[in-house]
Structure 1
Amino acid sequence: MPTPHRPELNALFNKPPADAIEYLQSKGYKIGWDWHQTLDDAHSRAFTVAKVAKLDVLQDIRKSLITALEKGQSFEKWQAEITPILQEKGWWGKKTVINPAGQEQEVQLGSPRRLRTIYHTNMRSAFSAGRYKAMLEATETRPFWEYRHITMVNYREEHKAWNGRILRADDPFWTVAYPPSKFGCNCRVIAKSASEVEGKEILSSEGYQTQYSEKIGVDSFTGADVYGTRQRFDIPTQDGTTLTFSPAAGFNNSPATSYAMDQVLANRATKYLGNEQGVKQVQQIITAPVRQKAHYAFIDNALSFGKAQGKTSTVGVLQAEDIVFLQSKGQSIESPIVTIADRLLIGKKAKRHETAGDALSTAEWQELPLLIAQVKTVLYDVNNDSVLYVLRGMDSEEQKVIKLSLRAQNGVIEIVSIFKVKQSDISAGVKSGQYEVIRE
């Protein structure tokens, strides 16, 4: 394999970049117009480039970046290969096109400058996600993370002040501030064992995080001001000073929101299968704000793209009581993780339920992990050999509930259907013996 000539790739190729490649491969696609529509959550679950309105162009760019990772290509090599492809498809230079508002607008499509941004942003994000996943999987032996500032020209004082600072791996700080946290940021995080940090100050961001909105630009075709949400930490230290950190707009989505984290959750849940405390820990991660952001992005990307891409979102975990019941029915459970596929939002079943008037609202899709965590009743459907979660709906019709059907397929739990029914229908099913109560 050739040796890459960029710092982020040199670091990446110290070992096979399987996790970094998987990070790009696991993403779906999202069509976005202005740069501010492709920030934060959009990037965490989908591959997107501003002003790319055609799926085939988006696919070409992602495929070329994956190849660059696999072959260790420098920016110059990647640029030389992708430029003629984009030029042939018309995505190059300044052009007058029809924007989403139906108006003519002169825009900058492909250019050497844009390609440089696309390359470095995606390479750094892929490396970051791969490293984040590896570090999470090692938290039992290395439960502390140390921030490392990489010395460079025009460094950022805020980042330099954090050099050598240590927080627990599960501190909320890392779900927002795991680098890169600004354009051009080359900072890193190093995992440490308890013995390695003995006697050193361990910071905590608990209670010191705030959120604020600021103007980040102007919409290119409406002229309206565009505002972005930023997170800010003001963490006190033992010497009485306060350390401040605030990722730039567009960098509030850490690898914790990516598909890499879904695999980590699945591994942890499998490890803790049947362990009540371990399952509770996984459930807390699934419903944490950063994971809710990831699920929101999954829902938004699925609905806006309009067709299934074979993507899933982790929305829950079977409790020990549910697993014991299923095992008593002769079902093998290898992983208690519950996932939902995008086809249930926009496939044939989704259209059928929309026509019938019993489909979930967008808000209910978005809040699904929280609704599952607060499940009303868990039943066993005798006729269909499946588990039913009865969830409270979010609309004004109190007599209706959400019926979520789960089935074990080769040891893996899948949501096979989800729609609204009358509470009286559930009660009638229990009374008739069609449903057995697992817990309520």
Structure 2
Amino acid sequence: MSGSRGVASGVGLPPREAIEFLRGKTNVTTQHWTDIWRDAHTRSFMVAGAATDALVGDFRRSVADALEQGRTLTDFRKDFDAIVAQHGWVHNGTAAWRSRIIYETNLSTALAAGRYAQQTEPETLAAFPFWQYVHSGALHPRLQHQAWNGLVLRADDGFWHTHYPPNGWRCGCRVRVLSARGVARMGRSGPDQAPVIETRRWVNPRTGEVHYVPLGIDPGFDYNPGLTWREPPRIPTDAVTTPRPARWPPAPPAPPQRVSVEPLVPAGTPAIAAPDFEAWANALLETRRSDGSVRVLGALSDAAMTWLQDREIAPASSALAITSAQFLHILRDAKAKVAKGLSIADALRLPEIVARPRAVLRERETGAVLLIFDPLDRAEARTGKLVVEFAMDLRVRDGHERRRVVMNGVKSGGLVDAARFRNRGEYELIEGSV
């Protein structure tokens, strides 16, 4: 998203209700982004770490101008630089990253609330009693958001209480309305069954408070800004009939079921590499078959966790693990056609790499965390990397049983040109050197 006009045109919404939503907020000073939690944002305007009324007020005016006047991110960044200089504000992250987060989060939330207000007008609900989740089409999608793409539910389904987008930082998903005839034209006799809402345990890094956050949603985003601002939708019962013979009950559905998915390594548990890692890896190398098992490799360093916490993107646990499928995927012969896989020797020392990477980077565009290391083969001119993904939702084998876990995992790895990591416009250095 490059500006509020782009955001507004993406949802087809004049920003009148969005402006009203933003104007109704009260300025609040904070020390940390979790000081205002979930639906409290509906009535409060805050910028994490902006601890004076004057500073919050200046940001509020700039965000309001961006929304009301259609000012772009480039315009907002000029204001951001001037406000920071005037107040001497020391903020987390780079100016480019922080200004984008402030701009996009406030505009997308306001537009979502405005869109919800329009979609729940009585005459709109009478004509369009169904909603469809539409994925943003991002180049680097959240897999769960992509899985919800095309989901059709009644407008009053409890799923929308927590899953009405945006569902995370920089989420560009949206909801579109559908009539009964529109649903029928899609070849459906009615709406889909609401997904079971599965949650993961997340610990507030500032307070230690435990929250259970729906999978696929960033902590703090599991609420509907429009719902907390407006009344819940009330759909006329005669609006849900379909021109097809098949009909579905118009009665409001039961609240969505929540199932807690256990973390592989709970927060606060020492993340020690599995002692049998080498034997486990060698067994996989013999069979070359994934068996659904998983092994803990170690943990991100305290310095890396502090860096991530300061930027409000830290996972609940520092532990890193790898599945059998991921382990086999990163090997050199598995990627022989492009010659970018790791050697067996490097794959067997993954716990050592996790414990002592040469550098830890964060890719600005995708947010992925990379562990950089030197290959054992001294003749290899390229640099090794491991790509880490936080809060992966997986089914793994534990003995003879399968269980569902959430883990921070090594998603992939390989060998790349070392020069690419020196591009500070593309990567942020968390620790170490490149």
Q: TM-score, normalised by structure 2?
A: 0.48
